[in-house]
Structure 1
Amino acid sequence: MGTDRLDEVLDATYDCLTRYGVRRTTMDDIAGTMGVSRSAVYQYVRNKDDAFRRLAARLHEQALERARQAATDPGTPSRGRIRGVLAAKLDLVLELAGDSPHTSELLDADARLFGGICSAFTTELRRLLTDLFTETGTAAEVEPAQAADICIALVMGLEHRPDAQALLPLASDALVAGLLGTPPGPGL
């Protein structure tokens, strides 16, 4: 299967999603957006649901790759690496929410099509954060996994704010300082 052609199918699926939403998009819409026949699209995806699942998986995987890079950046202090992981999640949400009211459907953890993808994404973010807090250490009363959960809750709280990107550095620095038991500042 040609990866480039699959990417074209997923790009067309995203374009249709922004215009029509998941329910109203048809395979004919995807094919028409690509300028090919519907049977050509079926060479790369089984059906519309498969196209949307693959699209959601691609977007979440791209965000996870950014989170992994942030988590393992040796030149960045721990506080910055934690913020980078959180920014990967927030950026995914804000990007999708900004493109169309329909695109946020790809983030619905309760949706039949995307629930597993969304849950796996959050689980991997939690693991990355837990590893970072284990490496850095946390305040005595906070376990690394609890610190990770608190950070994810912070991002989820910021997702619907118009000034989310501006607030993330301030909020994450203050939160992480408390979780690490250190004063806020350029260290760590």
Structure 2
Amino acid sequence: MGTDRLDEVLDATYDCLTRYGVRRTTMDDIAGAMGVSRSAVYQYVRNKDDAVRRLAERLYEQALVRARRAAADTALPHADRVRGVLTAKLDLVLDLSGDSPHTAELLDEKVRLLSDICTSFVAELRTLLTGLFTESGTVAGLGPARAADICIALVMGLERTKDARELLPPASDALVTGLIGAPPR
């Protein structure tokens, strides 16, 4: 299967989702956005649900790559690495929400089609953050996994605010300071 052509199918699926949403998008819409026949689209995806699912997997994987890169960058101070992981999640949410109210459907873990993708994404972020807090240590009585949960709760709260991108740096610095018991470098 040609990866470039599959990417075109997923790009067309995204374009359709921004206009119509998951429920109203059809395979004909996707084919039309690509300028090909519906049967040509079926060479790359089984059906609309498969196209939407693959699109979500691609978007979440791109965000995970950014999060993993931030967590692994030992040249950065610990607080910056934590912020990088949180930024990957926040950017995914804000970008999808900003493109269209319909593309925000790709973030809903209650949607049967996407629930495992959303859940796995947050679990992977939790694992990355837990590793960072295991490395740095946390204040007495608070384990690394609990510190990771607090960070995820912070970014989920910020997702609903108007100035989320501006608030994340000072909020994450303050949070990390409290969680590890030392000021960020």
Q: What TM-score do the two structures reach when normalised by structure 2?
A: 0.99
In structure 2, the partner of 1:40 is: 40
How far does residue 74 in structure 1 lie from its aligned partner after superposition?
A: 2.0
Provide the aligned C-alpha RMSD in A: 0.6
Does 2:181 match 1:181? yes
In structure 1, the partner of 2:57 is: 57
* Equivalent-residue separation in structure 2 for 1:128 and 1:75 (angstroms): 16
In structure 2, the partner of 1:147 is: 147
Number of positions where the alignment pairs a residue of Structure 1 with one of Structure 2 = 185
* Equivalent-residue separation in structure 1 for 2:14 and 2:69 (angstroms): 25
Letter of the structure 1 residue corresponding to residue 171 of structure 2 = A
* Equivalent-residue separation in structure 1 for 2:2 and 2:139 (angstroms): 50
Identical residues among aligned pairs (%): 75
2:52 alignment partner, SS class:
helix
* Equivalent-residue separation in structure 2 for 1:3 and 1:74 (angstroms): 33
* Equivalent-residue separation in structure 2 for 1:173 and 1:105 (angstroms): 30
How far does residue 160 in structure 1 lie from its aligned partner after superposition?
A: 1.2
Deviant stretches of 4+, over 6 Å: none
* Equivalent-residue separation in structure 2 for 1:79 and 1:101 (angstroms): 32
Q: Give the unaligned 5+ runs of structure 2.
A: none
Letter of the structure 2 residue corresponding to residue 168 of structure 1 = L
How far does residue 141 in structure 1 lie from its aligned partner after superposition?
A: 1.4
* Equivalent-residue separation in structure 2 for 1:109 and 1:181 (angstroms): 33
* Equivalent-residue separation in structure 2 for 1:79 and 1:159 (angstroms): 19
1:28-82 per-position Cα deviation (integer Å, ceiling 9, x unaligned): 0000000000000000000000000000000000000000000001210111000
Q: Give the unaligned 5+ runs of structure 1.
A: none
In structure 2, the partner of 1:114 is: 114
Q: What TM-score do the two structures reach when normalised by structure 1?
A: 0.97
